[in-house]
Each structure stands twice: as C-alpha cells, then as structure tokens.
Amino acid sequence: MNTERRLLTVFTPGKIYTGEVDLPNQTLRTTDLLNSTNVYWKDPANKSFGDALLMYNVLLSIDGIDKYQSFDSIQIRQPNIIFFHDGYAELSSSGEKERAVKLTEKALEGKKTINLITKARVNSFFEIKGTFHGLFKSKSNQKYIPINDVILHEIIRRHDKWVKRRVGLANNFIGVNSSYIEACSLF
C-alpha cells in the first residue's frame, strides 16, 4: 500500500516541528485527520503512545535556531500540540471549497471574527486573531478548532519584559488545540 503524505507544521511549547504525516487519501482535510478518534498510522505496530502523531522527515526548530535537529521520524503527543498548519496555501480542492460553503449554510451562522489567547507555556503564549465559520460551541468540543485569515503573535517573556513577535505562516489557516485556549472573544 502506497500511503500519501502531507506537509505539516506543529507548534508545541517552545518548539516547532515541520515534516510529513501519512494520509489514507489526499481528500482528507488535515483538521479531520487530527480530530479523528484514531489518527491514521500506516503501520499501527510502530505506535508508542495512544495519542501520538507520527511525522516523517522532520525538522525541529526552537527559538533562535531554525534548524536545531532533524529526524527521519518522530512521534509527537497530541496533548502537547498548541496549534498546527498544513502546507496548503488555500483549501486544497474545489470539492473542499464547496463542502465549506455547504457547512456554513447548514450551520446558519456566517463568518465571525475570533480572538484567542492561549495558556502560557515556557514563558510565552500566543495571541491568535482570525475568522471562524460555523457554530463555535460545537467546534470547541473537538480537539482542534479551525481558524482562517490568521494573524498570529507570540508574546514572550525575555528577562523582565514581554516582547510581541509576529509568527509567519505558510498559509492563512491554523488548527488550534481547544485545550490550550485560555480566553476567547467572538464578534
């Protein structure tokens, strides 16, 4: 069986992992993959933790060092993921765009602006501004909440000052781990 892969960047406290994840097929949305009860593994016998995400050809970056270390493969525990983004510049296909429109219409709720503050970890936290489609209450019960049109800042404690730094993204989408959200404002 030839498994397809997708580029994924995962932010954990103080670290950024960029690599590839296995997919059962290319039509599966990244958020659906990570929100599933059992994240897809090509070979489940290699799974060390029940809540792990397996990534390949991974580059680990830490603050100040873009290419700190590389791994052929690594397992990242999902509870430690603050947010992720995939390698797509926009929704992957016309079918997915149509699905997004239908879901928005079905939810009877349009686009809302959202401002999230994450929990502080390793002397930093994130401020995330963007748009959200659908019913937030139902999405907040999932592991990862999809946010579009994202403007992302990391607020870092350096010595005795807080520094605000804009975080660049490959696209305008992230999936935020709902357990890391400390505060939220929808308008």
User: Residues 94-108: pLDDT tens digits?
Assistant: 665 666 666 666 656
Q: Give the model's pLDDT for residue 96.
A: 59
- The structure tokens listed for 18 are 């960029």
Neighbouring CB atoms inside 10 A of 53's CB total 24
Q: Give the model's pLDDT for residue 125.
A: 96
For residues 141-179, b (16+ Cβ closer than 10 Å) or e, as one string?
ebbbbbbbebebebbbeeeeeeeeeebeeeebbbbbbbe
The pTM (predicted TM-score) of the whole model is 0.85
Bridge partners (DSSP) of residue 147 are 174
Q: Once rounded to an integer, what is the mean pLDDT over residues 118-136?
A: 89
- Distance, in Å, from the CA atom of 101 to the CA atom of 92, rounded to the nearest integer, reads 14
Average pLDDT of the chain to the nearest whole number: 86
- The structure tokens listed for 43 are 């070979």
